Structure 1
Amino acid sequence: MSAEPQPAVHLDRAWGHIPQGRFVAASQGTFTRRRIERITAIAAGVGCFVLGIQAFLIALSNSAGVQEQWEIPLLVVIFGSLVAMCVLCFFRTTARVATGVFAIVFILLLALWPVLTAGSTPTATPEPWPWFLINVATMAAVIAFPLPLQLAWTIGTPLLYGVVRLAQGGFEPAFWMSMVFEVPYSLILGSLLLTLATIFRRMASGVDSERQVAVSGYAQAAEAQAAQEERVAVSALMHDSVLAALIAAERADSPRARSLAVSMAREALEGLADTSTPTGGIELKPMSLKGLARGIRAAMADLGVRLEVDVQTPPGIADDGPEAHRIPASVAAAMIRAATQAAANAVQHADAVGLQARVGRPDGVPAAAAAVVVVVSDAGPGFDIDAVPDDRLGISASILARIAAIDGTATIDSGPRGTTVTLRWEEA
C-alpha cells in the first residue's frame, strides 16, 4: 500500500496529467506526430549529409561544365545551404525552414544550370553532381512542405532535371538513354521516401487520435468518480454534522444536551464551510499515534464531549517524535472522522455510558510498517446491526465507507453489554 492510499489522492494526481483547456489539449493531441516529425528530420539530416559528401567530392573532381567564374560561388551556395540544413535538422524549430530553403535553392540551381554551363560541351555520362542531390531536395521538401508540395517536388524535381539535361544535350539519343536511367531512379527513390514519411505520419496521427479519445474517456470517468465521491462526502457530512445537530437539538431536554446540540451545530457550520477540502476541515498532515489520539480528542471536544484516548504501542516502537511511524494524512483524517462518528453515536444512543477510545498498533504487523488500530467502545444497551435501515448513514457512510475508502477495515460488535467499533489500517 502506498503512503497515500485514498483513491481521491491518486485521482487528483492523475488529473494533473489530463489536458486542461483547448490549447493544452491540442498540444498534447499531437504528442506522437511531433516526435515522428523530429525523428524524420534528424534521420533526413544524417542521410542528406552523407549524400552531400558524395556529391561534393564528385563536384571537386568534375565540375560538369560549370563556368570557372561560377564554380566556387555555386559550390558555396549549394553545399553551404546543404550543411546548414543538415545541422538545423537537429533542432525542431529550424528544421522546416532550413529544409524548405534548400529545396527552393536546388530548384533554382536546375533552372539556371544551362546558364551556369553555357559555353561548355555537355556529355551524357557520367552523371553531373546535381543528380546526386535530387533526392536530397525531394526529402527536404517532404520535411518542409505540406503534402501537395511534397508530391510536386518529388515528381517535378527529377522531371525538371531530365528536361534541363535533354535541352543541354540537344535531345541527342545518348542523353535520352542517360535520362531513361537517371530520371526513373530519382522518381522511384523519392516516391519511396515520400511514401514512408506519409505512412509514419498517418500512423502517428492515428495514435494521437486514439490517445485523445482515451484521455477524454478517462477525464469523463475521473469527473464521474469525483462527483460520486463528493456525493458520498456530502452525505456523510450531512449525517455527521447537520442531521445529527438537528436531532440533538430536537431531543435536548437538559442543559448538557442543549450544550451538546449547540456544539454540534457549530461543528456542522464549520463542516459545511470545509466541504471543499478532502478531509473535511481536519489538518492534512501525517500523524503519529499520539497525534491521532489528540485529533480524536479535539474532534470530540468540538462536540462538547470530553473523551480520553489511550495510546498503546508495543515495546521498542516509538509512538511520537521524529522516529515514530507516521500515519498518512488521508488515513489519519478518515480515522479521526470515523472514530468521532462512533463516539458521537455512543453519546447519542448510549448516553456515553462507559465510553472510551484506544489508539495503537495492530498485532502481527512488522515493526517497519506503518499501521494503526482505533477502538471506540461503550457499555450501552447495544443494537442490532442488521436491523439498521439503509438510509441511516451514521454507520454505512460515516464509518464503514470512510474506512473502506482508505483500504482499511472497520468492524462493529454490538450486544447487550455494549458496542465496540474497531478501525484498522496497515501499510502493505
Structure 2
Amino acid sequence: MAVPGIREGVVRESGPSDHALARTVLRFAIALRCGGVTAAIIAASVSDGTGISRVWQVLVLGGLALWAVFFTVVAVRHGLRFPLVAGDTAVVALALLAQPRFIPVSAVVDESTWAIMLASTAIYVAQLSLRPAAGLPLALTVIVAYMVGVPVSTSQVRVLFVQAGVVSAMMELLRRGGRRADAIVADRDRERQRVMVEAARRADERHQRLQMHDSVLAVLSMVASGAMQADSPGLRRGAQQALDVVEEFAAPPASDGGVLVDLVGGLRKLVTEMSSRLDIEVAHHEAARIYVPESVALAVIGAAGEALRNIERHAGVARAVVRAERQGDLVTVEITDRGLGFDPDRLPDDRHGIKRSIVERMKVVGGSAAVWSRSGEGTRVTLRWPGD
C-alpha cells in the first residue's frame, strides 16, 4: 500500500509519526469516500422521489460509485497525492451543482439531504490529506458548489465551514506533535548509540586482553611447564597463533557495525582448527543457521575455544561435543566431555581461564556462562546469550 508523499501540498513524511499518520489517513480517506457514496445511494433509494429526476439520480450516483472505485485503486497504489484529492473535490463539486435535479426541496428544507453528507466527506478527505494551504481552498470550492447548487437557503453551510476549520487545525496539531515526538526519539536514539559505541569500545579492549590470555599466555605456560618440547609442531602452531593475535590487536579494533554472522559456522571453523588435537562433534537442533551480532559470535566462539583447550589439557579424553541451539531470542551453546572432571570451587588461584576467558568474556556481550563439573563425571560449560 502506498503512503502519501509531497506533491503540491500533500503532507511530507519526515519521520515515523508522519509515516504512521499517513497510513491511517489513507485508510480513513478511502473509508470516507466509499462509505459516503454508499450512504448516498441508500438514502436516495429510499426517498419518495417527488419533484426530481430518477435518471439524474442514477447518472450522478453511478458516476460517484465509479469514482469511489477509481479513488480507492489510485490511493492504494500511489497514495493521496494532490491531483487525486483535487479530483475528488471536483467530482463532488460537480455533483453538488446538479442538486436541484436529484434532491427534493423538502429534504433541503428539513436539512436531511444526502448531498450535505457528500460535501462533508469531500471536505474531510481534503483536510486529512493536505496541508491547510492546499486543503482549505479545496474545502471552500466544495462549500461554494453546495451553496450554488442548493435550491433554497440552509444553515448547513455554517457546519461545512466549521468542519473544514476544525479538521484542518486538528491535523496540523497532530503533525506538529508527531514531529516533536520524532525529534525526542531521535535524540534518545543518538544518545543510546553513543553509549553502545562506548560500551563496544570497552568490550573490544577486554576482548583483546582475553585473547592475549588464550594465546600468548597459554603458549608461555606450556613452555614454562615443559609440557611441550621446543621443536614440537604443536608449540610452533600455538606460537604462530599467538603472533597472529598480537598482530591483529596492533591495529585499532573495528566495530562490527551491527553485522550478523552465523554462529554455527564459526563454531565449525573453530573445530576444524582444533580437529588435529580433539575429536569434536558439533550439533545443533535446527536446520537454519543461528545468526547473532559479530561481537557476540566472537565472544561465544572464544569462550568455546577456551573450554575446548581446557578439555585438551586437563580432561584426559580426546573427545568433546559442542551443541548449539536457539529458542526464541535465547542462544545456548554447550561444550561437554566425559573426562576426569574437577571441583570448580577448588581451582588454583592462578587458573584464570574459566573466570576470564569464559565467564567474563560472555558478560562483556551481555551473556552468561555456567560451568558444571564433577570428579570422574566430566565437565559441561553452558554459554547463553542474552544472559539470564
TM range (shorter): 0.5 to 0.7
Cα 1:100–1:258 shift into 2, 3 Å: farther
Cα 1:393–1:54 shift into 2, 3 Å: same
Structure 2 counterpart of 1:425, one-letter code: T
Cross-structure match for 1:35: 23
C-alpha deviation, 1:264, in angstroms = 2.0
Cross-structure match for 1:262: 236
Provide the rounded CA distance (Å) in 1 between the counterparts of 2:139 and 2:319: 81
Cross-structure match for 2:307: 339
TM-score, length of structure 2 as denominator length: 0.58
For the 8 Å contact 2:316–2:340, the answer to whether it is kept is: yes
Unaligned runs of 5+ in 2: 1-12, 292-296, 323-331
Q: How many percent identity over aligned positions?
A: 16
Offset from partner CA, 1:28-79 (integer Å, 9 cap, x none): 564422332233223323432234325755999368799x9xx589737962
For the 8 Å contact 2:131–2:172, the answer to whether it is kept is: no
For the 8 Å contact 2:359–2:369, the answer to whether it is kept is: no
Matched, 1:284 2:272: no
1:74-223 matched pairs, under 5 angstroms: 75=60, 79=64, 82-84=67-69, 87-88=72-73, 91=76, 93-96=78-81, 97-107=83-93, 125=109, 130-154=115-139, 157-158=142-143, 161-162=146-147, 164=148, 175=152, 178-179=153-154, 181-194=155-168, 197-198=171-172, 208=182, 212-213=186-187, 215-223=189-197
For the 8 Å contact 1:359–1:372, the answer to whether it is kept is: yes
Stretch of structure 1 that moved more, 269-278 or 78-87: 269-278
C-alpha deviation, 1:109, in angstroms = 6.2
Q: Which gives a bigger RCO, structure 1 or 2 (Cα 8 Å, sep 6+)?
A: 1
| Correspondent of 2:368 among 394, 404, 407 | 407
For the 8 Å contact 1:32–1:208, the answer to whether it is kept is: no
C-alpha deviation, 1:138, in angstroms = 0.8
* CA RMSD, 1 decimal: 5.9
Unaligned runs of 5+ in 1: 1-24, 170-174, 312-318, 347-351, 362-368, 414-420
Matched, 1:424 2:381: yes
Cross-structure match for 1:45: 33
Stretch of structure 1 that moved more, 137-146 or 198-207: 198-207
Q: How many correspondences in the alignment? A: 333
Cross-structure match for 1:20: none
Provide the rounded CA distance (Å) in 1 between the counterparts of 2:348 and 2:304: 24
Cα 1:273–1:337 shift into 2, 3 Å: same
Cα 1:106–1:411 shift into 2, 3 Å: closer
Offset from partner CA, 1:337-369 (integer Å, 9 cap, x none): 22355479x6xxxxx8x96677579xxxxxxx9
Larger radius of gyration between Structure 1 and Structure 2 = 1
Provide the rounded CA distance (Å) in 1 between the counterparts of 2:131 and 2:283: 66
Provide the rounded CA distance (Å) in 2 between the counterparts of 1:355 and 1:321: 22
